[in-house]
Structure 1
Amino acid sequence: MDSRSGARRWGPIIVDGPLAPFVDGLRRELAGQGYALDTVGDHVHLLADLSEWLSGRGLTGSGLTSEMAGEFLRERRARGLRIGVTVRAVAPILGYLRRLGVAPPHSAVAAVTPQDVLLAEYRHYLVAERGLSAGTITHYLRCARVFLTWLPEPCGSLSGLSSGQVTGYVMQWARQREGRPPDMVTLPALRSLLRFLHVAGHVPWLLADAVPAGRAHPGRLGVPRAASAEGIGAVLASCDRDSAVGRRDYAIVLSLTRLGLRGGEVARLELADVGWRSGEVTIRGKGGRVDVLPLPGEVGEAWAQYLLHARPKTTATTVFVTMVAPFTALATSSVTQVLARACARAGVARFGPHRIRHAVACGLLDAGASMAEIGQLLRHAHERTTAIYAKVDQARLAELAQPCPQGAAR
């Protein structure tokens, strides 16, 4: 990648300027992440151009702020270059330099509008007061922004927010979602925002109770929507276990099937969590919960085959990683996508990790397991969560029913 012509340059890459001392380290970093040699060379060429650009402005690595990196990319685009002109292209270099402390950390855009200021305050509340996970915070902030944008008055006039407006918003949201999959986030997120607005003094009344109860949760309406045993079997069979990707996908789906894991729990599984000698695995679940489960032999074998013969060489510490460089930990959404692609290959209706989790519970129920045993495997915090599976077999409801207190005779 030539900063002048855009064509690949052959021969040794000469890097001058303030970033020259970091060339070898960048090569090792990218090679360790699984990048091909040609791609590593392209990034080194981009580093050379960036170092020359900084030198021409009398800057060192400490001057490579987010704003300066953006200016560097804009100038490259203005010169007609088509390679190395996006934030994504320069991200590996900036990430490496920032981890070394050579370049300053990424600077977020300052909050300038009343909505930005309010959302920044809400984020702090979710982190410091509620202690929510990063994923939940992202979803809650997204829902909060949609609601605040919908309001006719700016954020500075929230003191007049009424329960009627809240209910009206929910009704409009419900009409727009007719015929779409259930949304389990928006209503809890709205209640959270309204509690914050009251606690922080932006709204004089607690309006969280004005949010109607959702009617979309399938567990509250009928029996759990479990994936069929035939569908799960077809999905497992669709994984090509002679290929690296197929071995990984098979191990992921088998983990969901045999252990009843959530998608995020599969993504967060660390190499150190697997006790090969003890035959146990540590699962890091919702709300910071940590449980140790027996490791089924079939699952352990699938993991071993993947780790020994398919997992790319990487510094990532998670069991499952991406199969395209950079080889990093999977996101929760990636686990869902693995399952979606497997369903498409198998020619079955698409289902997600949670429907496999339902299938595990229903299978245990059919085998005679108690509600307590099902709750223990699925690691439910409350008996009422496990109670939804009693709907599959009405006779099991008696296991959770409490004796009715005898009232005094009238």
Structure 2
Amino acid sequence: MDLIRSMHPLARAWLLDGPLSSYVEAFQVLLERGRYAEGSMETALRAWSHFAHWMTKCQLSADQIDEALVEEFLDSHLPRCNCHPAALRTLNGLRASLGHLLSLLREQHVIVELPGPGGPVADELCRYNLHMRDARGLAVGTREDRLVLVGRLLQCKFAGNAIVIGELQPEDVRGFIATELTRVNSVSHASAVTAALRGYFRYRGTCGDAVHALLGVISSPVRWSQASLPRALTNEEVQRLEAHCGQAKRAPLRLLAMVRLALDLGLRVGEIARLEIGDFDWRAGTVTLKRTKSLRQDVMPLPALTGQALAEYMRLERPATTLPSLFVRRLAPHDKPIGVDAVSQAIERALRSAGISRSCHSLRHTLACRLVNSGSSIKEVADVLRHRSLDTSLIYAKLDMQLLAEVALPWPGSAS
């Protein structure tokens, strides 16, 4: 209660005498369990206090709170708020703290859980998800992205009704694709939409539906195979990136460990995020990848520089936790593994700060280019990058300058 006693008397009264008073103690336990900083806890309590004051003026009770009410407070009350200066008015602080409020009230069954997907569309998506997982072996992220797109199509046509693919017309599919490309007009999104729809209609074909007309209206955007070159980092850019990691203000050892895993082992950001301490055999100098895109278990050698970066991170910078995850959150809520987005954002932020206009996937390209230019075969590159098909690795053949020079024809009119 020390933080509450240190609050402004009026704000403290709003909190302890208002409609949220019964949940203040549980809220403090939630914040302490997540090991939030004292300043964050103070902000959260002030946010609750302001919201409780507004609820009192509106004669609202805790069981009436939902997302719509929170948005009404933030969108309608906050811009014209004339409450006492003790009231917190920071939008981000209010939104985050009221998100905790909603979670706590649902945990204590004060308000109902958010309605999950239901009805025929949800059942159909569940069946299709199982097909993608068991029959096609697609990764979790791929399945989730495709379910979102297929769900939008089915919701537009069959919302609340049984799924009858025979009622879906080519014009419906054309209209849906046009709407999606209006929403996000990019080649990558167009490819994602066409792949999701084509995969779903082929699944329906295996169920006995006539889908030839629907498949016929799906045309993929032009993306010439092997048309581009992999965008790898130069040696000078790699040195700049490594130097920047060591100078980073936030978690430099963690950042360097992530970069080394991507640069030396060619790991994808999802594979980095899902690594666990038990995946490493320090005596044998290997790492076992158990949660990969291809759903296989791969054992890879652990280079000395990578192992050293990981050891320094774990010894000097990794937060104390009982979690098996290699990379865990540094900020509250603690004792949780980091997500895929946290890895990609950290690496891409480091690249930008080092003056390198590349994506985090370019580190994987860099490893492949190094292997090719050091004499490794395309098969060896495919093995290191764990590509399912050798064709995926053929793009790196264009970077083997020594072999290309041997087959290059002389320029017409030149002396050679």
TM-score (norm 2): 0.69
Q: Give the match's secondary structure for 1:329.
A: coil
Q: CA deviation at 1:161?
A: 1.6
Which runs of no fewer than 5 residues in structure 2 stay unpaired?
82-86, 405-416
2:195 aligns to what?
Answer: 188
Q: CA deviation at 1:240?
A: 3.6
2:337 aligns to what?
Answer: 329
1:95-106 → structure 2 map (5 Å cutoff): 106=113
The verdict on how the C-alpha distance between 1:226 and 1:363 changes in structure 2, with shifts beyond 3 A counting, is same
The verdict on how the C-alpha distance between 1:58 and 1:354 changes in structure 2, with shifts beyond 3 A counting, is closer
1:320 matched to 2:320: no
Q: How many residues align?
A: 373
Q: CA deviation at 1:160?
A: 4.7
CA shift digits 1:275-310 (9 cap, x unpaired): 333322222210422212121111121122222323
1:161 matched to 2:169: yes
Quick check: 1:73–1:86 contact (8 Å CA) kept in 2? Answer: no
The verdict on how the C-alpha distance between 1:71 and 1:164 changes in structure 2, with shifts beyond 3 A counting, is closer
2:365 aligns to what?
Answer: 358
Q: CA deviation at 1:20?
A: 7.7
1:339 aligns to what?
Answer: 347
Q: CA deviation at 1:47?
A: 8.2
1:400 aligns to what?
Answer: none
Which runs of no fewer than 5 residues in structure 1 stay unpaired?
398-410
Quick check: 2:46–2:88 contact (8 Å CA) kept in 1? Answer: no
Give distance in 2, aligned partners of 1:172 and 1:21.
46
The verdict on how the C-alpha distance between 1:214 and 1:167 changes in structure 2, with shifts beyond 3 A counting, is farther
2:285 aligns to what?
Answer: 279
Letter in structure 2 aligned against 1:278: A
Please identify, of 378-387 and 75-84, the stretch whose mean Cα deviation from structure 2 is larger.
Answer: 75-84
- Which residue among 116, 123, 126 is the counterpart of 1:124? 126
The verdict on how the C-alpha distance between 1:208 and 1:224 changes in structure 2, with shifts beyond 3 A counting, is farther
Letter in structure 2 aligned against 1:265: E
1:29 aligns to what?
Answer: 33
Q: Give the match's secondary structure for 2:287.
A: strand
Letter in structure 2 aligned against 1:378: L
2:96 aligns to what?
Answer: 88
The verdict on how the C-alpha distance between 1:46 and 1:225 changes in structure 2, with shifts beyond 3 A counting, is closer
Give distance in 2, aligned partners of 1:395 and 1:147.
50
1:406 aligns to what?
Answer: none
Quick check: 2:241–2:350 contact (8 Å CA) kept in 1? Answer: yes
Q: CA deviation at 1:209?
A: 5.7
Give distance in 2, aligned partners of 1:265 and 1:330.
12
Quick check: 2:125–2:151 contact (8 Å CA) kept in 1? Answer: no
RMSD of equivalent CA atoms: 4.8
Give distance in 2, aligned partners of 1:256 and 1:331.
16
Quick check: 1:94–1:103 contact (8 Å CA) kept in 2? Answer: no
Q: CA deviation at 1:254?
A: 1.6
Quick check: 2:245–2:252 contact (8 Å CA) kept in 1? Answer: yes
1:239 matched to 2:245: yes
Q: Give the match's secondary structure for 1:288.
A: coil
Identity %: 24
Q: CA deviation at 1:262?
A: 0.8
TM-score (norm 1): 0.70
